[in-house]
């Protein structure tokens, strides 16, 4: 099933302040997930298998690389046997890149928050306003994303247009 996210990714040095805001706002803390995202070679969009201790999904998404709140169309399939699926997809499509990260996961209603740490790249915050489990109009998703950006003190120069996979690929090419 397809869904829409309006999302941002930003570098942050304010992870503690963001955690404090989320706690005071009554955010539901899902835990810390040690995630491995394996990206596969595909003709359009991005296909990744997420393996973690909390989230295990096959995710296909299409999104423009922009340093502003951006819309992402995605399909999400929960997976129980990630290792067999990884093996099969690697054989069929080939692996593009693998990203390892430590992710804190929080929710407030239909908005998901990630505090991410990537070795050698620092800390990031992601805000994802989604219509996945709630019938929320697109305009409202943009409003929510912008409101939390303001609450977290995220400035336009903090925004990151690339996915973690592209950041990693770019760094290994240099």
Sites in the chain below the pLDDT cut of 50: none
pLDDT of residue 1: 58
Helix and strand numbers (H, E) in the chain are: 4, 8
Token pair listed for 65: 């690389």
Give tens-digit pLDDT for 6-43. Answer: 999 999 999 999 999 999 999 999 999 999 999 999 99
Whole-structure pTM value: 0.90
Q: Strand runs (DSSP E) across 52-158, as ranges?
A: 57-63, 70-78, 95-108, 111-118, 122-130
Residue 71 lies in domain: 2-173
Number of domains in the chain: 1
Here the CATH number for the domain that contains residue 48 is 2.40.320.10
């Amino acid at each position: 099933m397809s869904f829409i996210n309006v999302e941002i990714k930003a570098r942050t040095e304010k992870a503690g302040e963001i955690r404090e805001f989320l706690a005071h706002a009554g955010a539901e803390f899902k835990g810390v997930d040690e995630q491995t995202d394996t990206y596969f070679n595909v003709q359009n969009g991005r296909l990744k298998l997420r393996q973690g201790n909390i989230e295990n999904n096959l995710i296909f998404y299409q999104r423009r690389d922009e340093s502003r709140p951006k819309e992402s169309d995605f399909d999400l399939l929960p997976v129980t046997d990630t290792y067999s699926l990884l093996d099969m997809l690697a054989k069929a499509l080939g692996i593009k890149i693998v990203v390892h990260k430590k992710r804190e996961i929080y929710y407030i209603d239909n908005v998901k928050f990630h505090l991410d740490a990537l070795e050698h790249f620092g800390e990031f915050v992601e805000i994802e306003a989604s219509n996945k489990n709630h019938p929320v109009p697109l305009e409202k998703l943009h409003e929510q994303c912008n409101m939390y950006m303001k609450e977290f003190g995220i400035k336009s120069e903090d925004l990151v247009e690339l996915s973690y996979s592209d950041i990693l690929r770019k760094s290994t090419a240099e």
